[in-house]
């Protein structure tokens, strides 16, 4: 099976004050194969989000190697990293992070307009199609103050999907949503993953993690364990069973 992401001895340290450094990521080794749906769990400050931002190139690593789709991220220039994010990655944040002065539809198409790989009409049509699929077609012209958290997160997902990414990186994408919206978003992400897109997300929520294929546990900047749950099939799998299995493992791991 092809690995979309191969991480070897990844380290990330921040300097706190003169001469003092804090290691946030310590010797991370990880492989994620194409089409996998992985969740990273851990307490606050364990380094989950930093791992995500380092993989995307938004944050520079201190040492180690990250191979994404065959490209060594650590050796890429700022410009090449921009292009990589623009063409092969999709991002979903907990705090939505949509541009305030653009409508929903404009937020979705913005990056593709910059990339200009196809005509503007075709970009718009694709965006409208995605909005329809995610149930937010009616929101196209609205601004971000005129939608619920769940709707905004759907807009974020549409935006992340616009460049038909190889991977979607989600930093607690359901962290600010209620349980109904969380379930809806996870269903949406599940169907995206079904269509072959790799997803790596960070979460605190066992219910969210239980719907992923594999769960990694981080503690103090290290991956201290991993639990394979297997693909989640809405129709055939009992989510409760998966949640219990995961909870039991987490308990065993001291969480």
Partner 1 sequence: MLAKILKKDFKRNKAIAIILFVFIMLSVLLASSGTTMMTQLFRSINHLFAVSSAPHYVQMHAGTVDRDAIHSFAAENSLVKSEQISEMLVIDNANIYFGDNPAADTSSVMDNGFVVQNKSFDYLLSLDNKRIEVLHGEIAVPIYYRQQHHLNLGDTIRVSAGSSDMTFTITEFVRDVQMNPSIISSKRFVVSAADHEALKSMTGEIEYMIAFQLKDLNKLNEFKTAYQSAGLPAKGPAIDYSLFQMLHALTDGVVAVIIFLVSSLLVLIAVLCLRFTILTTLEEDYKEIGVMKAFGIRQQHIRNVYLTKYIVLAGAASIFGYVVSLCIRPLFLSNMALYIGIAPQSILQSLIPILVAGLVFAFVLLCCTLVLRRFHKISAVEALRAGAMGELKLNTKRMPLYKSRVPSVNVFLALKDVVGRFKMYLLLFFIFVICFFIIIVPVNFLHTMQSPSFVSYMGVGQSDMRMDLQHSDYMQERFDEVQQYLAQDTEIVKFAPLVTSKYSVIGSEGALESIQVETGDFSIFPLKYSSGNAPINQNDMALSTLNADALAKKVGDSLVLVINGKHHEMTVSGIYQDVTNGGKTAKALLPYQPEDVLWYTLNADIRHGGDIGAKITEYTGLFPGVKVTHLEDYMHQTLGSTIKQIKMVTVLAVIIAVFISILITSLFLKLLTAKDYSGIAIMRSLGIAVAHIRKQYVIRILAVLAGGILVGTLMAHTFGQSLVGMLMSSMGASNIQFVTNPWVSYFLYPLALGLVVTLTTLVGTLSMKKYSMTRMITE
- Residues lying near partner 1 in the complex (CB under 8 A) are found at 49-50, 53, 56, 58-59, 78-79, 82-87, 89, 91, 93, 95, 97-103, 105-106, 109-111, 113-115, 120, 124, 127, 141-145, 159, 171
Residue (43 or 58) nearer to partner 1, CB? 58
For residue 249, CA distances in Å to 18, 215, 226, 244 come to 40, 10, 9, 8
For residue 31, CA distances in Å to 60, 171, 199 come to 19, 19, 13
Residue (102 or 239) nearer to partner 1, CB? 102
CA dihedral 188, 166, 124, 83 (to 10 degrees): 140
Q: How many CB atoms lie within 10 A of CB 187?
A: 12
Q: How many CB atoms lie within 10 A of CB 179?
A: 10
Task: Kindly state the tokens that stand for 37.
Answer: 């749906």
Task: Kindly state the tokens that stand for 9.
Answer: 């001895």
Task: State the nearest-atom distance from the C-beta of 56 to partner 1, in Å.
Answer: 8
Task: State the nearest-atom distance from the C-beta of 164 to partner 1, in Å.
Answer: 13
Residue (202 or 209) nearer to partner 1, CB? 202
Task: State the nearest-atom distance from the C-beta of 209 to partner 1, in Å.
Answer: 21
Residue (51 or 229) nearer to partner 1, CB? 51
Residue (25 or 246) nearer to partner 1, CB? 25
Task: State the nearest-atom distance from the C-beta of 169 to partner 1, in Å.
Answer: 10
120-133 and 149-161 helices, crossing angle to 10°: 140
Task: State the nearest-atom distance from the C-beta of 1 to partner 1, in Å.
Answer: 27
């Amino acid at each position: 099976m092809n690995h979309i992401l191969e991480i070897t001895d990844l380290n990330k340290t921040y300097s706190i004050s003169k001469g003092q450094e804090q290691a946030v990521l310590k010797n991370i080794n990880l492989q994620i194969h194409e089409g996998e749906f992985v969740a990273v769990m851990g307490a606050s400050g364990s380094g989950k989000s930093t791992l995500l931002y380092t993989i995307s190139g938004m944050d520079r690593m201190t040492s180690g190697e990250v191979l994404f789709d065959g490209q060594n991220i650590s050796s890429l220039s700022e410009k090449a990293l921009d292009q990589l994010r623009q063409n092969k990655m999709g991002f979903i944040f907990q705090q939505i992070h949509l541009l305030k002065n653009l409508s929903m539809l404009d937020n979705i198409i913005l990056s593709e307009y910059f990339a200009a790989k196809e005509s503007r009409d075709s970009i718009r049509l694709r965006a409208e199609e995605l909005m329809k699929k995610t149930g937010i077609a009616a929101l196209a012209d609205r601004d971000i103050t005129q939608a619920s958290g769940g709707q905004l997160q759907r807009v974020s997902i549409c935006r992340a999907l616009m460049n038909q990414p190889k991977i979607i990186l989600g930093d607690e994408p359901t962290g600010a949503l209620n349980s109904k919206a969380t379930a809806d978003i996870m269903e949406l992400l599940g169907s995206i993953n079904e269509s072959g897109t790799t997803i790596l997300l960070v979460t605190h929520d066992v219910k969210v993690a239980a719907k992923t294929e594999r769960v990694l546990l981080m503690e103090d900047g290290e991956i201290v364990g991993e639990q394979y749950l297997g693909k989640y099939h809405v129709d055939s799998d009992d989510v409760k069973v998966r949640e219990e299995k995961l909870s039991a493992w987490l308990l065993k791991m001291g969480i």
